[in-house]
Structure formats: C-alpha cells, structure tokens
C-alpha cells in the first residue's frame, strides 16, 4: 500500500496534510499519534469512507481512489473498527460469514436458486469460518448469539470476519482498546500467527504502545494531520518530538 501526498479538508479544517507512507507487503505498520491527530481519518481515506482533497492511494496495482468503495474488498482490503459493528441478533458464525460476500461466485439470483456451484462455495467458506474461529480461540462460540458475548470477543469475531475475505491489506483500528490483559496477549499471538500463515499486509492504529512494540515492523507517527516521524517502535518511543506530541510540552 502506498499513499502519496494525501490531504483531507473539511471546510476550512485541515485534517490531513500531504501524508505519504508505504506499508511493505507482508509487514505490519503501526499508525500512532495523539488523540485527534488524524489516524482514523487516514484509515477512512484508505477504505473509501472519506475522499481525500488531493493525493493518491494505491493498493498493490489498484488505484484506490478510482474504485468505488464498495469494490475495495474485491481489491483485497478489509478493516475492523474502533467499535465493532456486528449483527448482534445473529450468531457468531453468521457474523463471520458476512466477510465472505466479496469472494462468493454469482449474484443474488444464483444464491436464491442454490446452484451446485454456490452450495459448494458456501460449504467451503463455512469450513474456513470455523477454522478461523478455532485459530482465534473462538471455536466454542460459533453458535452463540453475538449479543451474549463480551466486547473483547466481539473484536475477535470482527477480526475473523475481516480475515474470511482473504485480504491482502488489513486495517485494524484500535484492536486492543477495551481488551483485558489476557485478551491483549491473545490478540498479539493472533497477529503473529496470521503473519506466519497469511500473505497479508497489516496497518494498525493503536494507543497501546506495548502492542505496537510487539507486533509492528515500523511505525508512522502522525500529529495534527502531518507526519512527525517514521521508524521502529523503539525509535518512536525515544524520539523527543513524539514524547512532546503526546505530552503537549517540550520533552
């Protein structure tokens, strides 16, 4: 994924100013910065929820700004949200299966006719959904209604749903927020596990610097809509400009 000179304005407010960054294939890039820095807005630009005022966004060889946002999943993009958006009255498995919509052959007509091709595809994605739930420690919850489960488990379900679309680029928005200590450990293990077995590039917004240090190859620090620095998590942690941006006073 490559962003070049991405700017975003709402009226007179400059939310992002000439942001350029690159996530190398197969790596994990952390996007960090104080509250209001523009991290979620940048995610919204990549996922097509916001249209930048200028600049370019490329996902591999796809010009993301030339594709309708509803088509970005087919181009390999998946994301999770700060507050998981689940169908609360559906089961965990049904929620995860929603992630497969961009992969299934045919349209609504072939689905309603239940053609052999669509039935076979449905069996395959069900099996994959079960495998993902097992992998992320949620196999036991497959038939439970989502509203019976905790916030931490909702985040795990959302991650399975995103992975079922077989993304090449996965955007995670504050995946560790509101998780218990044990759930944070499980999340870190899940990301390490995903890196081994899936060909996916991950960009993660996260305030929990322990998580950032544990899972990222590089971090991009943003402040007031602009790049502050880029480097390893360790370099960011020791950079006086970053400390100042977070604490609001010279280091």
Binding site for ligand ATP (CB under 6 A): 10, 13, 15, 33, 35-41
Q: Name the 3-class secondary structure at 202.
A: strand
In the complex with ligand ATP, the residue whose CB is nearer, 45 or 162, is: 45
Q: Are 136 and 90 in contact (CB under 8 A)?
A: no
Q: Are 55 and 18 in contact (CB under 8 A)?
A: yes
Q: Which are the contacts of 42, defined by CB distance < 8 A and separation ≥ 6?
A: 3, 6, 8, 16, 19, 31, 222
Cα–Cα distances (Å) from 37 to 15, 158, 202, 246, 249, in that order, read 8, 25, 20, 10, 16
In the complex with ligand ATP, the residue whose CB is nearer, 10 or 140, is: 10
Compute the least distance from the CB of residue 225 to ligand ATP, in Å: 7
To which residue do tokens 């999340």 refer? Answer: 187
Q: Which two tokens stand for residue 113?
A: 């006719």
In the complex with ligand ATP, the residue whose CB is nearer, 128 or 158, is: 158
Compute the least distance from the CB of residue 172 to ligand ATP, in Å: 13
Compute the least distance from the CB of residue 206 to ligand ATP, in Å: 10
CA distance 168 to 150: 28
In the complex with ligand ATP, the residue whose CB is nearer, 94 or 239, is: 239
In the complex with ligand ATP, the residue whose CB is nearer, 38 or 167, is: 38
Compute the least distance from the CB of residue 93 to ligand ATP, in Å: 31
Other CB atoms within a 10 A radius of the CB of residue 230 amount to: 16
Compute the least distance from the CB of residue 175 to ligand ATP, in Å: 13
CA distance 223 to 245: 7
């Amino acid at each position: 994924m490559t962003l070049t000179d991405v700017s975003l304005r709402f009226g007179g407010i400059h939310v992002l100013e000439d942001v350029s960054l690159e996530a190398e294939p197969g790596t994990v890039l952390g996007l960090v910065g104080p509250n209001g820095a523009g991290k979620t807005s940048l995610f919204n630009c990549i996922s097509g929820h916001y249209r930048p005022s200028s600049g370019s966004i490329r996902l591999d060889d796809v010009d993301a700004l030339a594709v309708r946002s509803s088509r970005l999943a087919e181009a390999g993009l998946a994301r999770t949200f700060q507050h998981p958006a689940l169908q609360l009255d559906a089961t965990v498995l049904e929620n995860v299966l929603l992630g497969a919509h961009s992969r299934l052959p045919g349209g609504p007509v072939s689905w309603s006719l239940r053609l052999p091709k669509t039935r076979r595809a449905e069996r395959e994605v069900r099996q994959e959904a079960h495998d993902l739930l097992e992998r992320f420690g949620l196999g036991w919850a497959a038939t439970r209604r989502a509203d019976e489960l905790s916030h931490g488990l909702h985040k795990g379900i959302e991650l399975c749903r995103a992975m079922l679309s077989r993304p090449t680029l996965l955007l995670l928005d504050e995946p560790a927020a509101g998780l218990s200590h044990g759930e944070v450990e499980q999340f870190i293990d899940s990301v390490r596990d995903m890196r081994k077995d899936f060909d996916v590039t991950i960009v993660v917004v996260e305030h929990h610097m322990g998580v950032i240090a544990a899972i990222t190859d590089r971090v991009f620090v943003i402040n007031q809509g602009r790049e502050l620095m880029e480097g390893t998590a360790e370099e960011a942690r020791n950079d006086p400009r970053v400390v100042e941006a977070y604490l609001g006073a010279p280091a």
